[in-house]
Amino acid sequence: MVNYPRWAIAFTLIICVWGIIFASANFFNESAKFLPDSKVRLGLDLQGGAHLLLEVEVDEVVKATLGSIESSARRELRRRKPRIKYTGGIRTEGNTVVIRGVNPDDIEIALDRLSSLDRDLVVTNIDNSILIKYTKEALLARRQRAIEQSIEVVRRRVDETGVSEPTIQQQGSNRIIVQMPGIEDPERIKKLLGQTAKLNFHMVNEEADVSVAVRTGIVPPSSKLIYEENAGQNIPYVVYREVVVNGERLVDAQATFQDGQPIVSFRFDAQGGQTFGRVTTENVNKRLAIVLDGKVVSAPNIQTPIMGGSGIITGRFTVQETVDLALVLRAGALPAPLTILEERTVGPGLGADSIAAGKLASLVGFIAVVIFMVASYGLFGFMAAIALVFNLALIMALLSVLGATLTLPGIAGIVLTIGMAVDANVLILERIKEEVRNGRSPISAIDAGYRRALTTIIDSNLTTLIAALLLFNFGTGPIKGFAVTLSMGIVSSMFTAIMLTRFLIVIWLRQKRPSKLPI
């Protein structure tokens, strides 16, 4: 027992010094260059901010995909030679695109053409009607891909706003949790996340009678009626359904000014620039509608071909609106609309109160434990209290290094750890007292106390650690925070009880060589 190995001494000292250094970084500002940059992150309930639960409307993805298949089918049947005639029209019914009244002589040709649109499509013929639908596996894959794309787009949009260390993760099959600590304008974030930002370019159908379309709702099969909001009025347009240029080809968008008015400038990638140049070359003196989320932003007349792969979006924008529009265009369009199911906003004042209450609870718990240990075990109890200080430092250091987020339940886990941290010491010291009563010498009693209590300490802490790991694995949000600090507290308390307290006792034994233990 007295011959404490040198490697154990070195290991104990290194871990303790490491814990003090990394824990100290949390109590100094950024000017303290001599300390590590790693610090404990405060959770939403401590720092204040916003919590949003979003639902991805994945059915809209399927609907949009089928709409694209519908347009492609119309193009394949009508524009390629020989043209395939059908009398019943093309429309989407549920999850199936139906083409009715196909000429029986053209069925085989039509089936062959339509099957090439997508390898995941199932194309069948029933009574001269062609049915096009995706396989069940393909629909599930598209829904999951929509969730993943939505998470990535949401992450890019939130990062663009400058929110530090947001939490964005999937919950369930079609929901996303967004936690943004420290934000000052949650309404702006909600607006940014609620905007699909699907930008497309359509040619205006100059031949369609807009007044008739507005009055009757009847438009040519290849067109659709959409509106532009301008000065409180809705201006109708009949545009072709076909998307001539897709907004997914955008590589940059910036808010700027033209003639003193705020506008958004955009730039396509190489392929998008070529397509944009070809479309504007072929449609000089025709109008090109810029459509954002199903509404016309503007419909300028193409006066000359635009070959540079860039353009501008004008409208009755404020400066903030152009900044936000450029932001969402840069971040990319959401594959499906998002619906806010739950919203919670925590003020920084409430977070400060939680921190103050947590500090007070930790301090009171620490003092109570120290008093109990010193009153029950004297000098050895004081050594256990010293080990408790290092235990708290190690927890803070681990939280800092791992980049963990400290929440209010996490503080509860630390307070609980304060009481549990001395549990191992109590087992050891009680065992030492028992060995002293049995007539052992001080060194023999201490050696037997540590040796015989070790198995019990490992068993009790291991079972608690298993429970904490299960909480972390199956829990969400606050439960995970509690499990993290509890797990770290268990590991650090075992180290301080088995290694640090023992080290302090060995030093005392070597110096004092007592004939009787003060316990």
Could you report the per-residue pLDDT of 280-317, keeping only the tens digit for each?
899 888 998 888 888 888 888 888 888 877 888 777 77
pLDDT along the chain (519 residues), means of 10: 75 91 79 70 74 86 81 77 79 85 82 82 86 86 86 83 77 85 76 79 90 87 85 85 82 84 85 87 89 84 82 79 80 80 73 74 83 88 89 88 78 80 84 85 85 85 88 76 85 87 87 80
**pTM listed for this prediction:** 0.60
DSSP H or E run through 52: strand 49-56
- How far apart CA 389 and CA 411 sit, in angstroms, is 16
Tokens of 303: 């006066």
User: Quick one: pLDDT at residue 390?
Assistant: 92
Quick check: 414 and 488 in contact, CB under 8 A?
no
User: Quick one: pLDDT at residue 238?
Assistant: 92
Could you report the per-residue pLDDT of 177-222, keeping only the tens digit for each?
888 877 767 787 888 787 777 888 899 998 888 888 888 888 888 8
Specify the pairing of strand 245-246 against strand 250-258: unpaired
Quick check: 494 and 417 in contact, CB under 8 A?
no
Quick check: 305 and 281 in contact, CB under 8 A?
yes
CATH architecture assigned to 58-139: 2-Layer Sandwich (3.30)
User: Quick one: pLDDT at residue 170?
Assistant: 86
- How far apart CA 468 and CA 488 sit, in angstroms, is 10
- How far apart CA 415 and CA 492 sit, in angstroms, is 14
CA angle 290, 323, 61 (to 5 degrees): 50
Domain locations in the chain?
6-48+349-512, 58-139, 195-343
DSSP H or E run through 351: helix 348-377
DSSP annotation of 304 reads: S
At a CB cut-off of 8 Å and minimum separation 6, what does 507 contact?
none
CATH of domain 6-48+349-512: 1.20.1640.10
- CATH 3.30.1360.200 assigned to domain 195-343? The reply is yes
Residue 421: what residue type?
A: A
Q: Give, to the nearest 10 degrees, the angle between helix 6-24 and helix 379-402.
A: 60
Quick check: 418 and 362 in contact, CB under 8 A?
yes
The candidate with the shortest Cα–Cα distance to 333, out of 163, 139, 186, 156, is: 156
At a CB cut-off of 8 Å and minimum separation 6, what does 498 contact?
424, 450, 454, 457
The candidate with the shortest Cα–Cα distance to 409, out of 466, 491, 484, 490, is: 484
CA angle 287, 289, 292 (to 5 degrees): 170
The candidate with the shortest Cα–Cα distance to 335, out of 143, 123, 47, 493, is: 143
- How far apart CA 507 and CA 451 sit, in angstroms, is 18
Strand partners, 137: none
- How far apart CA 141 and CA 386 sit, in angstroms, is 56
